[in-house]
Amino acid sequence: MAKTLLLGMGNPILRDDAVGIRLAADISRRLGPVPGLDVVAECSVGGLELLPRLEGYSRVVLFDSIKTRDARPGAWHQFTAADLRPTMNLTNVHDTNLATALEFGRRAGLRLPPADDIHIFAVEILDNLTFDERMTPVLEQTFGCYADAIFAEVAALLGPR
C-alpha cells in the first residue's frame, strides 16, 4: 500500500501563517482514519530540514500559506512540486526553497515522492509577520468556505475509501 503524508505547514503564532496547520487538522478530522495515511498537522520547518519528514512516502499532501500579487485573501491555489522551480542563487541552506531541497534530497539518494505526487494547497494570506494566535478576520470568516473546497479536492485525490 502506498503511504501518503498529510502535512500542515506554518507557524501557529504568526497570524495567517497558521492556515496550513489549521487546514491539516480540519481535513484530517473530516477524513477520519485512512489506511496508509499519516498526518503531521503542524510542521514549522522548511528547506533541507523538511526532507526527513517526506522521506519514505510515495505521496504528500501539503497545506501552506502564500502571498502573491493582487490576490484575494482566502483564495487558494492547487499545484504540485513539479510546478516549482529550484533557485539559482542559494545563499543560505535555511532559506532553501522546496524545489531546491527536493532536488538536493534526490541527488543525495533520499527516497522522496515524485514531484508530481507532492500536492500543494496554498491559501492566500494577508499577515504572516504579526504574533497572534488568531488569523486575520477575513481568513477566519472565510475558513469554512475554502476548507470545504480544499477538503473536496483532497478527498478526491485520496480516492474512494
User: Per-domain residue ranges for the chain?
Assistant: 4-158
Q: What is the pLDDT of residue 84?
A: 82
Residues 6+ apart with CB under 8 A from 92: none
Say how many CA atoms lie within 13 Å of 148 toward its Cβ.
Answer: 3
Mean pLDDT over 102-120 rounds to 93
Q: What is the pLDDT of residue 71?
A: 84
CATH class of the domain whose range is 4-158: alpha beta
Q: pLDDT tier at 98 (50, 70, 90 boundaries)?
A: confident
pLDDT digits (tens, 9 = 90+) for 15-52: 999 999 999 999 999 999 999 999 999 999 888 889 99
Q: What is the pLDDT of residue 96?
A: 78
CB 125 within 8 A of CB 23: no
CA separation (Å) from 91 to 87, 96, 129? 10, 8, 22
Is the pLDDT reported for residue 85 higher than 90? no
Is the pLDDT reported for residue 87 higher than 80? no
Mean pLDDT over 72-81 rounds to 94
